[in-house]
Amino acid sequence: MFGPGPTMVEPGVYEVLAKPLVGHLDPYFINILDETREMLRSMFGTRNPLTWAISGTGSAGMETAIANFVEPNSTLAVLGCGFFGSRMAEMGRRQGARVVNFEKTWGEVFGYEEVAEFVNREKPAVVAFVHAETSTGALQDPRPITKAAREVDALVIADAVTSLGAVPVSVDEMGIDVAYSCSQKGLSCPPGLSPFTASPRAVERLNARKTPVPAWYLDLRLLGEYFDGHKYHHTASATLFYALHESLRLIHEEGMEKRFARHRRAHDKLVRGFEDLGVRMHVPEGHRIPHLNTPRVPDGVDDAKVRKHLLEKDGIEIAGGFGPLAGKIFRIGVMGPMANDGCVQMLLDKFGAALRA
């Protein structure tokens, strides 16, 4: 699986999926939850007490962020240069917010001056952006956005669905108030959980809400009674938390910096291989997600036929572009256990053969 997610799962993670179930209030499971929370804090680069994994996919994390921190009639500013910014904007509209969009071409990133001009004009309560845009392969530096947002006292929501586990997110250092992710990409787990963190500043805003959080299941104050108070809220999946716990344990055993460097080396080798094949990258150097690569489809090549060839002949899954990038890029994930020289070289060999075919 060399697509944008789900990715391949470590063998040790598969093994813990077979462990016996326990109840969602069992002392053993509570200990798993607590250890998972602490490892997630390290992964997010934060000391936020409110750090846990939402029972749901990455989109549940997105909806949790919007539902809890965006109130009706407040202004939500969305910085969008790909598909998932649009999804945040739609969720904001459904919460009754006034949504203002700053759109750029898919694959571009934002700089401080343009963001500052936008937020100073709109005066939003919340600014939302995508850290690593799955639809384009572009990695956004959070600092230009968080700096501009703080100047108008706005909260910042970061979509870290693709970034967490393979590149630093550095929530505290970057000034991010709320961040969410998923389990099936950089963390190399099955889908079904959404790591989530919110700063004390964000929690203060949440506690000062004038209206109830409209989503009962995703209400962070109710979820806190479960994760902090160990009172029944919902039936969390022991199986999925076993997997996330083991994945995080393996990441910390390897060392986060070593893991990030391994993904960067795999990316560099892949890009050099694409260049040897005459294939150009969609995103300029310096703004690329290292583990989600977007080479452009060469002239005269049918991307769907390339992907079909790889899947049917070699059992390799990659993805194509969509929206304005449909038929123009491939989306190739090199994550977790696949981020090594041998896997990258195998992919390059098969990809080159598919292009020639």
pLDDT in tens, 315-356: 999 999 999 999 999 999 999 999 999 999 999 999 999 999
Instruction: State whether 306 and 260 are in the same domain.
Output: yes
- Domain range for residue 331? 255-356
**Max CA pair span of the chain:** 61
Per-residue pLDDT tens digits for 40-55: 999 999 999 999 999 9
The last residue of one of the domains, among 252, 267, 294, is 252
What distance in Å separates the CA atoms of residue 142 and residue 102, rounded to the nearest whole number? 15
Asked, for residue 328, whether it belongs to a domain, the answer is yes
Query: Closest by alpha carbon to 296, among 107, 85, 82, 161?
Result: 107
Instruction: State whether 248 and 259 are in the same domain.
Output: no
Count of domains observed in the chain: 2
- Phi first, then psi: what are they for 321, rounded to 5°? -80, 165
Instruction: State whether 236 and 266 are in the same domain.
Output: no
The last residue of one of the domains, among 197, 217, 252, is 252
CATH of the domain at 301: 3.90.1150.10
Query: Closest by alpha carbon to 290, among 324, 262, 325?
Result: 262
Instruction: State whether 232 and 286 are in the same domain.
Output: no
pLDDT of residue 101: 97
The pLDDT > 70 percentage for the chain reads: 100
Peptide bond into 6 cis (omega under 30): yes
What distance in Å separates the CA atoms of residue 193 and residue 55, rounded to the nearest whole number? 5
Per-residue pLDDT tens digits for 127-165: 999 999 999 999 999 999 999 999 999 999 999 999 999
pLDDT of residue 118: 98
Tell me, rounded to whole angstroms, the distance of Cα 21 from its chain centroid: 28
CATH of the domain at 160: 3.40.640.10
| 3-class secondary-structure state, position 278 | coil
- Top-ranked range on mean pLDDT: pick from 80-84, 207-211, 292-296: 292-296
What distance in Å separates the CA atoms of residue 251 and residue 268, rounded to the nearest whole number? 21
> Mean pLDDT, the chain, as a whole number?
97
Asked, for residue 86, whether it belongs to a domain, the answer is yes
What distance in Å separates the CA atoms of residue 283 and residue 296, rounded to the nearest whole number? 9
